[in-house]
């Protein structure tokens, strides 16, 4: 039985380039280490996917919708189902001086940002550089090993999964929430108050919850401040040890005269 549009499922996958075998990404930590693409700054584990909502590549999304929980499959995505074909109009020649102080450091293969777009330097010569603004995987066929490891069914489990999607780490794992018919209230702990882009994160979480739980019409965030009780000072005890050698001599009883 396939998944309906909007179903929330957890998916593990590993992606490679078909022609070269280059590993691109894996949600499985051990696999990422084995393929030498491990990133200590990211967290590994099954990825939450809303079927048909564009959370992954369109071709992969289509294939996931056909699977069932526990099913594993190798899928091949041609360029038109992945990052598209290469567009020659996205290759631009430009003067090296455009890169300012970094012009002398420019090398073929470098990623550069030009006019708010990121491209790859393909050629340098005669005072000019060719920059490719195609996605680095454009024109490539990708191979995914994909497995659906679970489906999220209850409203409470959906809320938790959607919170974790927006608030990663321990904050998302433990953030308290309550659902009262059509309203969900989330208590944001102090640990998240200074998170970068907090307002954007909150709007995203609220949009996810009302989208994937139709009975919810209102999402409220509370910033929770907790009084920290002062720590009681440690009791200091002074122990005095009298060594035998330092002990005072015994008091002698006076001897009565006869």
CA distances in angstroms from 213 to 60, 97, 210, listed in the order given: 24, 53, 5
DSSP for 190-206, please give it: GGGTT-TTHHHHHHHHH
Q: Counting every residue, how long is the chain? A: 258
Give me the domains of the chain, ranges plus CATH numbers: 7-85+136-152 (3.10.50.40), 88-132 (2.40.10.330), 154-230 (3.30.70.2210)
**CA 245 to centroid of chain Cα atoms:** 67
**CA 41 to centroid of chain Cα atoms:** 8
- Check residue 4 and report its DSSP letter: P
pLDDT digits (tens, 9 = 90+) for 87-129: 999 999 999 998 988 888 999 999 999 988 999 999 999 999 9
Q: What b/e readout covers 87-96, taking b as 16+ CB neighbours within 10 angstroms?
A: eeeeeeeeeb
**Global pTM?**
0.79
CA distances in angstroms from 15 to 39, 57, 138, 211, listed in the order given: 15, 11, 15, 29
pLDDT per residue rounded down to tens, the chain (258 residues): 589 999 999 999 999 999 999 999 999 999 999 999 999 999 999 999 999 999 999 999 999 999 999 999 999 999 999 999 999 999 999 999 989 888 889 999 999 999 889 999 999 999 999 999 999 999 999 999 999 999 999 999 999 999 999 998 899 999 999 999 999 999 998 888 888 899 999 999 999 999 999 999 999 999 888 777 777 666 554 544 444 444 455 555 555 444
């Amino acid at each position: 039985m396939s998944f309906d549009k909007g179903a929330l499922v957890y998916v593990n996958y590993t992606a490679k380039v078909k022609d070269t075998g280059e590993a691109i990404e894996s949600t499985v930590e051990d696999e990422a280490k084995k393929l030498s693409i491990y990133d200590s700054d990211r967290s590994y584990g099954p990825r939450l996917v809303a079927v048909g909502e564009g959370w992954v590549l369109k071709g992969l999304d289509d294939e996931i919708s056909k699977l069932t929980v526990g099913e594993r499959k190798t899928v091949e995505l041609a360029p038109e189902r992945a990052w598209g074909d290469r567009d020659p109009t996205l290759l631009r020649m430009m003067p090296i001086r455009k890169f300012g102080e970094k012009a002398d450091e420019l090398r073929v293969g470098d990623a550069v940002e030009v006019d708010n777009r990121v491209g790859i330097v393909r050629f340098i010569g005669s005072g000019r550089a060719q920059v490719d603004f195609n996605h680095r995987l454009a024109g490539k066929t990708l191979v995914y090993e994909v497995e659906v490891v679970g489906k999220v069914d209850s409203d409470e489990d959906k809320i938790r999964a959607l919170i974790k999607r927006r608030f990663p780490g321990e904050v998302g794992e433990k953030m308290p929430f309550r659902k009262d018919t059509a309203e969900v209230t989330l208590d944001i702990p102090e640990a998240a108050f200074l998170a970068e882009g907090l307002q954007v994160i909150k709007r995203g979480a609220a949009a996810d919850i009302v989208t994937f739980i139709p009975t919810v019409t209102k999402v409220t965030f509370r910033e929770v401040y907790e009084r920290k009780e002062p720590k009681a000072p440690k009791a200091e005890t002074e122990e005095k040890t009298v060594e035998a050698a330092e002990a005072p001599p015994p008091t002698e009883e006076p001897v009565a005269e006869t």
